[in-house]
Structure 1
Amino acid sequence: MKKCSTIILREGKASTQSDLIRRLNQVIRGWTNYHKHVVASKVFSYINNTLYHLLQQWAKHRHPNKNKWWRLNKYWHEKNGKRWLFMTNDYSLINLRRIKIVRHPKLQISRTPFLDKHYFDLRKLKLHTLVAA
């Protein structure tokens, strides 16, 4: 993930903020959908912080003669009470700290699908309601 975002930011030095957010969100969404079923909250937080620092470097490259607060006010905004969102009017970057980690329920090994049909029917029903939510 870190390599992908670094490559996107390196190649996108001249890109607009909207284009950069769109490209980063595609990578972030795919990576988090793959990893959200494991214990990944610390990794999500680490990646989120790393992205923040990489985006600060990107903004500094775009505006080398402006100070830090000017760049922060230009690219990071507040929306619905959430502060420090890297966003434009159209797009906002996905915050990895807000991704819900959904664990898979363990299967009871002592049960068999041949003898405990009621258990497996309830399990299937619960799994479908978790996926739909």
Structure 2
Amino acid sequence: MGHHIQQYPVGKYRSAKNPQGKILGFKTLITPSAKSSKAHQEEIGRIIKKHRSSPQAELIKDLNPVIRGWTSYYTNSDAKTVGELSKQDSLTYLKLRRWAKRRCGNINTGHQRYWTSIDGNNWVFATKKGEANPLRLLKHSEFSCALTM
């Protein structure tokens, strides 16, 4: 449900083996389907649109469970190896960049206000450290996915 499963032919040195040790001759990739990826981005866009005039902390509180849930569902797939999670991060960044530009009128001001550097990781969408409970937006690629053989 929501997965795209496809087998690709490979050579004998990159092939998986069956339980008896015989070379199968193909590799199976299980990735999120295009439909589920699009639905996830539409959900993120809907939440960002809903929070046009809300503070950054409320936006982060609503986005984090959606990102955590979708990514956890696809943890056992090959989403990380085929670049699906980094693609989701890029699309989310573009939506947040538009949100920041709309609020500030200038994207440079928006980047300074809403993005920060945390533990050597630049470009983290987070509240400032001076606030009582600093929040940061989770990234899809932060979650570890199982690698197939």
Range of TM-score over shorter length: 0.7 to 0.9
The code of the aligned residue for 1:98 comes to: E
User: 1:53 pairs with 83, 90, 94, which one?
Assistant: 94
Over the residues paired in the alignment, what is the CA RMSD in angstroms? 1.5
Whether 1:95 aligns to 2:139 is yes
Partner of 1:81: 120
Q: 2:103 aligns with which of 43, 49, 62?
A: 62
* Partner Cα distance (2:88, 2:148) in 1: 23
Structure with the higher fraction of residues in strand conformation:
2
TM-score (norm. length: structure 2): 0.65
Q: 2:126 touches 2:137 (CA, 8 Å); kept in 1?
A: yes
More helix as a share of residues: 1
Higher relative contact order (CA 8 A, sep 6+): 1
Runs of 4+ in 1 over 3 A off after TM superposition: none
Q: Does 1:71 align with 2:115?
A: no
> 2: CA distance between counterparts of 1:71 and 1:80?
21
Identical-pair percentage: 29
CA positional deviation for 1:71: 1.0
Q: Does 1:34 align with 2:73?
A: yes
Following TM superposition, by how much is the alpha carbon of 1:61 offset from its aligned partner in structure 2, in angstroms? 1.2
- Indicate which of 63, 66, 83 corresponds to 1:24: 63
State whether structure 2 residue 53 is matched by structure 1 residue 14: yes
- Give distance in 1, aligned partners of 2:140 and 2:68: 9
The one-letter code of the counterpart of 2:65 is Q
**C-alpha separation between the residues in 1 aligned to 2:62 and 2:136?**
11
Aligned length: 103
* TM score, norm. by length of structure 1: 0.73
